[in-house]
Amino acid sequence: MQKELILQYKEYTHKDELASEKKRLLDAALKATELAYAPYSQFKVGAAVLMEDGTIFSGANLENASYPAGICAERAALSSASVLAPNKSIKAIAVSYRNENGSNDAIISPCGICRQTIAEYENRQPNPIEILLGNSLPDSKVIEIPSINHLLPFSFTKESMD
């Protein structure tokens, strides 16, 4: 039997079209790119996590001379959120970047490991985690994805091991 999955997302032509809380979150992600330690890739990623009470936790990619030891911005931000606000649920995560030496100016989307990590956080709480994707260009479009399920269908979860 042939089946279909539907990927749902919204596209905004400019971040000014976002509700103020989401714009604030995307701005925090862009600001967090300044915290990146990316001497190897020169690719500075910032992420910001919005909690249910409006608090925002930021993170940036932190690279290492032993490349696999580096951590992505999304997981850095989620780690901060979960240790500093352990009992609060997450409403959204925004990702932005500055590509100082490259030419790509498209939207970036979380890597596979970060998708798996976001899925773990989403599975631990009742509400989905919205994902906002943007970049550092002033006229960048913004993509809003309602849940990590749309980026990581058929994910491996705790229930997979029951």
Does the footprint of ligand THU cover residue 74 (CB under 6 A)?
Answer: yes
Cα–chain center distance at 123: 16
Q: For helices 73-84 and 112-123, give the axis angle rounded to 10 degrees.
A: 20
Task: Estimate the crossing angle of helix 73-84 against helix 20-32, to 10 degrees.
Answer: 110
Nearest approach, Cβ of 81 to ligand THU (angstroms)? 16
Candidate ranges 3-11, 13-21, 105-113, 139-147; the one touching ligand THU (CB under 6 A): 105-113
Residue (110 or 134) nearer to ligand THU, CB: 110
**Is residue 108 within the footprint of ligand THU (CB under 6 A)?**
yes
Q: Is residue 111 within the footprint of ligand THU (CB under 6 A)?
A: yes
Task: For residue 52, indicate whether it is catalytic.
Answer: no
> CA-CA distance, 119 to 128, in Å (whole number)?
9
First to last CA, the chain: 27
Catalytic residues: 74
List contacts with ligand THU (CB under 6 A): 38, 41, 43, 45, 61, 63, 70, 72-74, 95, 108, 110-111, 114
